[in-house]
Amino acid sequence: MTDMTSSSPESPARRPGAIRRTLGAWFRIALWKRILLALVIGAVVGLAWGEGATSIAWIGDVFVRLIRMLVVPLVFLTIASGVAALADPKRLGSIGVKTLAMYVFTTALAVTTGLAVATLIGPGVGASFADAVPKAMGTPPDTARMFLEIIPDNPVGAMAEGKTLAVIFFAVLVGAGVIAAGKGAEPVRQLLSAGSEVMLRIVGFVMETAPFGVFALIAVVMGTSGPSSFIAVLKLAICVVIGSAIVTLLIHGLIVVRLMAWLSPLPFFRGIADAIMVGFSTSSSSATLPVAIRVAERNLGVSKPVASTVLPLGATIGMDGAAMYVAMLTLFAAQAFGVDLSWADYAIIAATTTIVAMGVAPVPSGSLFVLAAVLHAIGITPEQTALVVGFVLPFDRILDMTRTIPNVTSDLAIATAVARWEKEMDVDVYHSAKDV
C-alpha cells in the first residue's frame, strides 16, 4: 500500500522543511534590503489603511524599546572595554581631541548648508500661521547645567535615567582605572571585553526584528500624516531633503571620508546601510547607536577602542542633521515674520546653532527644544517661536526621519576618519564591505 500521508503536499513531515527553506531564504537577504522592503511595504500599507494603521503601532514600539534597552549597557561596556584596550591613556586623549574637533567642524558645515539652502529656496516667504496652534517647547537647556551633569552624583542612577553623557564619563573613568591598575586588573579588562561582545551579539538578535518594527513605524506615520498633509510645509520639506543630501553625500561622504580619511565613499555607504535605515525609521540617534557600533566594527573595520569611544559621544553631541534643520527653521521664521537679517545676524545664527545643536536630545523632534535659543538671538519673541513650533510640529515626524540620516552618517564618518588617522582600522575589511 502506498503511504499517501508521506507523499501528500500537506504532509506535516514536509512542512518543517518548507519553513526552514523559507526562513533560510529570508535570512540570506541582506538585512538592509529586508529593512528597505519593509519600509516600502509599510508606506503603502499606511497610505491604504489610514488611521487604522495605529492598531499596529505596538509592533514599532516594541522594536524601539528593544533598541533603547541596549543603549545604556552597550555604551558603558563598549566605552569601558575600549578605553581599557588602549593600554595608553595618551591614546584616549588623542582620540578625544580629534573626535571633538571633527564634530565641531562638521556641525559648522551643516549649519552653513542649512543657511545656504534656506536662503536660496526661501521656505518662509509667504508662509501663513493662521491655522497653527501655538506650541511652546519650554525653556532651552542651560548649557552650564548640562556640562555639570556630565559628572553623575550616582553612576547607577545615571544609567537608570539614561543620562548618556554621565554614563560615558563614568565608563571612561572605569577604563582608565583598569589601565592604571595594570596586570592586577586583567580579569576586569577581560570581563568588560566579554560583556561588550555579548551586548553586540544581543544587538544582532534584536536587529533581526528590525524589518517588522520598521514596517509598523512607517505604516503608522504614513497612515496618520500622509503625503497630502505636507502641502503646507512643502518648501521647508524640500529644504530638509536637499540639505540632508548635501550634508550626507558631500560633507560626510566626500569631505570627511574621501578627502580626510582617504577612502572611497562607496564602501562606506554600503557598509552603514543598516544604521541609516534604523535611524530613518526611529528618528533617534540614540536608538541607532547599537546598530552603528555593530556596522562600524564589522563592516567598516573600525577598531573597538575607536568605535566605542567616538560613536557613543557622537550619538549625544553629533547632531549635524539637527543643526542644519535648526538653521533652516531660524531663516524660515525670519522670512515668515519679515525680519531683515544682516551678515552679522547670519554669523550669530551660525555660531549659536553650532553650540546649541550639541545639546539637542537624541530623540524624535529634539531639534525643536533648542530652537528658542537661536530665535531669541535674532529677536524672535517666545510667542512667535511658539507659533513656528505649532506650525511645524504636526508634520515634524517625517522631516525628523529625514534629518536623522545625516546625524547617523556624521557619527560613522567621523569614527572612520579618526580610526584611519589613529591607524585603528582594518582597511581590507572596509573595502570588502558587503551585504551583511
Max avg pLDDT among 139-143, 182-186, 199-203, 251-255 = 251-255
pLDDT (average), residues 164-179: 86
Q: What are the angstrom distances between the C-alpha of 169 and each of 85, 199, 310? A: 17, 20, 13
DSSP-assigned letter for residue 425: B
Residue pair 242/324 in contact by the 8 Å Cβ criterion:
no
pLDDT at 436: 46
The 10s digit of each residue's pLDDT in 1-11 is: 445 555 555 55
- As given in the structure block, the three cell numbers for residue 182 are 595594570
Tell me which residue of 287, 269, 278 sits closest to 215, measured CA to CA.
278
pLDDT (average), residues 413-431: 93
Q: Give the model's confidence band at 341: pLDDT under 50 very low, under 70 low, under 90 confident, else very high.
A: confident
Separation CA 91–CA 93 (nearest Å): 5
In the block, which residue shows the cell 536630545? 361
- As given in the structure block, the three cell numbers for residue 100 are 571633538
pLDDT at 233 over 80: no
Output the CA angle 55-56-57, nearest 5 degrees: 95
**Amino acid, res. 180:** A
Residue pair 30/270 in contact by the 8 Å Cβ criterion:
no
pLDDT at 1: 46
pLDDT (average), residues 414-431: 93
- As given in the structure block, the three cell numbers for residue 109 are 558645515
Q: What are the angstrom distances between the C-alpha of 121 and each of 83, 109, 238, 330, 345? A: 46, 18, 9, 14, 19
Reduced to 3 DSSP states, what percent helix, strand and coil does the chain have, rounded to the nearest 5? 80, 0, 20
Going from the N-terminus, what domains does the chain have, and what CATH number goes with each? 39-431 (1.10.3860.10)
- Return the number of other C-beta atoms located less than 10 Å from residue 320's C-beta: 34
pLDDT at 14: 59
Q: Which positions ≥6 away from 352 have C-beta within 8 Å?
A: 373, 374, 377
- Helix H or strand E segment including 100: helix 89-121
The DSSP bridge partners found for residue 302 are 425
Phi/psi-derived region of residue 162, left when phi > 0, alpha when psi is between -120 and 50, beta in every other case = left
pLDDT at 124: 82
Residue pair 48/226 in contact by the 8 Å Cβ criterion:
no
Separation CA 246–CA 110 (nearest Å): 9
Alpha helix (H) ranges present in 152-185? Answer: 155-160, 164-181
pLDDT (average), residues 253-276: 94
pLDDT at 260: 95
Tally: H helices and E strands in the chain: 21, 0
For residue 5, with 0-12 CB atoms within 10 Å meaning exposed, 13-18 middle and 19 or more buried, which class applies?
exposed
pLDDT (average), residues 303-307: 87
pLDDT (average), residues 347-356: 84
DSSP-assigned letter for residue 340: -
Q: Give the model's confidence band at 276: pLDDT under 50 very low, under 70 low, under 90 confident, else very high.
A: very high
Structure-derived torsion over alpha carbons of residues 153, 155, 157, 160, reported in degrees to the nearest 10: 150
Q: Which DSSP string do the residues of 208-268 spell out, in sequence order?
A: TTHHHHHHHHHHHHHHHTTGGGGGGGHHHHHHHHHHHHIIIIIIIIIIIIIIIS---HHHH
Separation CA 277–CA 223 (nearest Å): 19
Percent of the chain at pLDDT > 70 equals 85
Tell me which residue of 108, 422, 95, 100 sits closest to 261, measured CA to CA.
422
- Helix H or strand E segment including 371: helix 371-377
DSSP-assigned letter for residue 142: P
The DSSP bridge partners found for residue 425 are 302
- Return the number of other C-beta atoms located less than 10 Å from residue 337's C-beta: 17
Separation CA 192–CA 80 (nearest Å): 7
In the block, which residue shows the cell 534590503? 33
pLDDT at 348: 87
DSSP-assigned letter for residue 8: S
Residue pair 389/399 in contact by the 8 Å Cβ criterion:
no
- Return the number of other C-beta atoms located less than 10 Å from residue 278's C-beta: 29
